Structure 1
């Protein structure tokens, strides 16, 4: 992935200097706040599965690293440093900048409107947002209340330490997915879904969550379509992203859980097949109108 040829965004806030520590805010994300968030996968388990299965690392080690057991775990010495100017922050700024340029063109050409870019907050371990406070185990997320994407850099550093540049497009996919949630917020989709979920049964609310997550996957694919057109990603990069999408499906994650049972009515992000299908739809068409997951009976 030729991310170093992308324009760096100015919309990145680096909070890795300790300015957002756990003692400053007493409340973690409540269940109502979690309903406002847009996320890539199932929190700590998703991160562990992505790293463990794609990059051949023991998932239990990743769970300990990111605090999946709610216990602090020492990071490897090489990962302790927190420079404000490093490869990871440059990567994030470049990918975010490319999403800004791409979506600005798409909004003008396909929607006849102007795109308003989100802010992206880099943090380590813990962060406060308008949706509440969150730890690494929450995974990357988007908060519609402040229109910001939140990204813990510990996960990125661990991917780089284990897989190097092979992880780049999988990481870019995670950013593009969260930007997809921002686009849903701009277009009023996420607000409508929150309103519908407030009076829906649990099963219906889960179905709505699946539809909005699959749409974010499709929107990430739309960005990937135009990035590929410009020769910034390769077929190998796309294969990596599809592999990532496969391994963060609800059915796949539930099979990897302690119980090993798959419970379709509990799905909130979609099956592996669904996530791949919708990502590929956006990737192949580059058409935002092909990402309507709410007007189809077959996901």
Structure 2
């Protein structure tokens, strides 16, 4: 992947170690929308209970402050992230403008160890995530090594897919999907499970990542042989069924939050092949 062709973004921030994000914002005896939805997103790579990761236990109304340290960022890795984020800004800016809308760029914060966000405290263990409360993508660059070592998903395009997926959640925030999911949850719609809203929301972010890949390739011609396969492999490696089988030797569909490997590949390809976000309605029919 010739990622140097990508547009550079001015929206990459490096955590100074002061926590960032303004700390958790929960109240009223229950989590607000940011806290609720982030639980469906945190740990999209690791098969873990986000409530435990945030030390919520399902009962507390606020998350503890996460101890963080100044992020140690390799300049080339930061430049890579900047170029990928910049390419998403160009892609989604064009798409929104074509429909008469305005795309508001998200921030992307690089951190080390842990970070405090508007959605609560998080550690490196949860993997990359998007917080709708402050409209930021959070990424510990150490995750890219984990992606290669644990999930055998190497290559720049696989890493770019990870960033594009989280930006896909930002697109959902701007288009009202987060509010719609929250409203449905309040009406009693199931979040987890093979047919739950969390799975559908994650699969749509995968599809949006595919839309970005299609549009950016048409503009920059930056992909090389094997790049698409590396991204599809990454999508396959992080399906709920694959992660559960690896972690506990069995698959429990009722606890799915992100979709199966086949579903993640299917929806990424739907966006990749079409370049049309209208093809990403994962909330209709079978996910």
Fold conserved (TM > 0.5)?
yes
Q: TM-score, normalised by structure 1?
A: 0.77
Q: Name the CA shift for 1:135/1:204 in 2 (closer, same or farther; >3 Å).
A: closer
Q: Does the alignment pair 1:104 with 2:64?
A: no
Q: Name the CA shift for 1:293/1:161 in 2 (closer, same or farther; >3 Å).
A: closer
Counterparts of 1:145 and 1:247 in 2: how far apart (Å)? 29
Q: Name the CA shift for 1:34/1:257 in 2 (closer, same or farther; >3 Å).
A: farther
Counterparts of 1:225 and 1:107 in 2: how far apart (Å)? 16
- In structure 1, the partner of 2:37 is 36
Q: Name the CA shift for 1:280/1:270 in 2 (closer, same or farther; >3 Å).
A: same
Give the one of 221, 240, 262 matched to 1:231: 221
- In structure 1, the partner of 2:113 is 125
- In structure 2, the partner of 1:193 is 181
Q: Name the CA shift for 1:162/1:7 in 2 (closer, same or farther; >3 Å).
A: farther
Give the one of 268, 279, 282 matched to 2:268: 279
User: Any idea what SS the aligned residue of 2:37 has?
Assistant: coil
Alignment of 1:113-262 (within 5 A): 113-156=101-144, 166-200=154-188, 202=190, 207-229=196-218, 230-258=220-248, 260-262=249-251
Cα RMSD for the two superposed structures: 3.1
Counterparts of 1:237 and 1:161 in 2: how far apart (Å)? 18
Q: Name the CA shift for 1:151/1:248 in 2 (closer, same or farther; >3 Å).
A: same
For residues 160-204 of structure 1, the C-alpha deviation after alignment (integer angstroms, 9 at most, x for no partner) is 8999x9421111101000000000000001111012113325466
Deviation at 1:31, TM superposition (A): 7.2
More helix by share: 1
Deviation at 1:235, TM superposition (A): 4.1
For residues 90-136 of structure 1, the C-alpha deviation after alignment (integer angstroms, 9 at most, x for no partner) is 11111000100111111122x22111110111100100110011001
Q: Name the CA shift for 1:81/1:189 in 2 (closer, same or farther; >3 Å).
A: closer
Query: Quick check: 2:109–2:138 contact (8 Å CA) kept in 1?
Result: yes
For residues 7-47 of structure 1, the C-alpha deviation after alignment (integer angstroms, 9 at most, x for no partner) is 210011100x42329xx96999x97655322637544349x
Structure 1, 152-161 or 179-188: larger mean CA deviation: 152-161
Q: Name the CA shift for 1:235/1:227 in 2 (closer, same or farther; >3 Å).
A: farther
User: Any idea what SS the aligned residue of 1:115 has?
Assistant: coil
Deviation at 1:233, TM superposition (A): 1.5
Query: Quick check: 1:282–1:291 contact (8 Å CA) kept in 2?
Result: yes
Counterparts of 2:31 and 2:245 in 1: how far apart (Å)? 24
Counterparts of 2:42 and 2:118 in 1: how far apart (Å)? 19
Q: Which runs of 5+ in 1 are unaligned?
A: 47-79
Q: Which runs of 5+ in 2 are unaligned?
A: 49-68
Alignment of 1:31-110 (within 5 A): 34-37=35-38, 39=41, 42-45=44-47, 83-84=72-73, 86-109=75-98
Query: Quick check: 1:40–1:139 contact (8 Å CA) kept in 2?
Result: yes
